[in-house]
Amino acid sequence: MNSTFRILAGAALLSSATLTAAPAFADGEVNIYSYRQPYLIEPLLDAFTKETGIKTNVVFAAEGLGERIAAEGANSPADVLLTVDIGRLDGAKQLGISQPVVSEIVNANVPAEFRDPEGHWIGLTNRARVIYASKERVDQDSITYEELADPKWKGRLCTRSGQHVYTVGLVASMVAHHGAEETEKWLEGVRDNLARKPAGNDRAQVKAIFAGECDIALGNTYYMGLMQTNEKEPEQQTWADSVRILFPNTDDRGSHVNVAGVILTKNAPNQDNAVKLIEFLSSDEAQQIYAETNHEYPVKPGVAVSERVASWGEFKKDTLSLADIAKNRKTASELIDEVGFDDGPAS
C-alpha cells in the first residue's frame, strides 16, 4: 500500500516521514486514524518504529473518524483507531468497524477492567475527571461531584460543553450510581451554579479561574500536567499555578476515571503490524512514555506515574466498570439536553 493516505475534508495527514525516521530495515507499515493530537502520540510512534522498523502513517481528525472507517468499508486503509473516552471506544464497536484483538501479550499487560469483554477495544491510559480549584478563593481540600449542585457554588463553576464526551462520561457515571431521576435534579443544580454558558476546552476552564470568572471547574488530570510544563506558552503555566487539583469523592466511591484506548479495525490491511503496535502501546516502554510525556496514568500494573503526577497526590478510583458507563451514555446525553445544560443558568 502507498505510504500516504488520501486526505479527505476535515482530516489532516501526517506521513510516516513526519512522525518517524523509518530505518532501512523497515518491515512494512501500519495505518493509524487518530483522535489523539499528533504531538501526544509522536514519541510513542517514534519508539515503535525504532524497535520494530514498522513505519507509521497517521490521519488525525477531531471528529468523524469512526464514521469515515464505516463509510470506507472493506476498502478502508485504517488498521487502528486511537481515541479517548469509553464512549468513542464503545461507539466504534457499535458501528461494527472493530474486531477482537487476539494477543496474550495485551491480555497480560492490560487488566481486564480496561479491556472490552469481547476484545473490541483496549484501554491504554487512565485520566481522572477532577476539580480545578482556585488557590486564592477555595479553601476546602475535599469535594464531591454531588456537591457541585450545592447553591454555595452559584456563579462559581465553569465547564466545557455538556455534550462533550468527557462530560457525558461523568454524567453517565452519575446515572449508574444514582439513577436518571436523581441525576437530572443534580444536573439542574450544576447548571444553575455555572458562572457562564459551558464553553472552551479544559485549559480554557483553568484560564477562566485565573481570570476570576469562576472559582472551580471540571477538567482532566493530564491537562494540568501539559499546562504546567508548557514552556512554549508560559501563560499556560501561569494559569496552572493559580489552581490546585481536588480529587472528588475520595472519602466514598472515588473519582470518575476514563480511558484513552485503541481499536483494531475490522478490515485492517496490515493486521499483524497493527497487533504489534497495540502490543507495543501496552508495553512497559510505551506506558512509561505515556506517563512521562502526556502525564497520564498507565494501565499496566507496575509502571510508575511521573513525578509531576505523583506530586498531585494519590487518589481513590471509582470502581464502576467502563461497560456500565458506556451503557448509560445515551441516557446521560438525553438528560443533558433535557435540562438545557449548555444554555447556562436558568436564573
List, as residue ranges, the binding site: 222-223
Cross-strand partners of 259: 126
Cross-strand partners of 265: 98
> How far apart are alpha carbons 195 and 229 in whole angstroms?
28
> How far apart are alpha carbons 260 and 10 in whole angstroms?
22
Could you give the 3-state DSSP secondary structure of residue 53?
coil
- How many whole angstroms from its chain centre is CA 115? 15
Cross-strand partners of 106: none
Q: Which positions make up the binding site for Fe cation?
A: 222-223
Cα dist from 134 to 28, 30, 201, whole Å: 50, 44, 17
Cross-strand partners of 19: none
- Rg, Å, the chain Cα set: 20
Longest dimension (CA), the chain: 65
Joined together, the cell numbers standing for residue 47 give 519508539
Q: Is the dihedral of CA 83, 130, 294, 316 positive or negative?
A: negative
Joined together, the cell numbers standing for residue 252 give 466514598
CB 225 within 8 A of CB 295: yes
CB 36 within 8 A of CB 83: yes
CB 319 within 8 A of CB 79: no
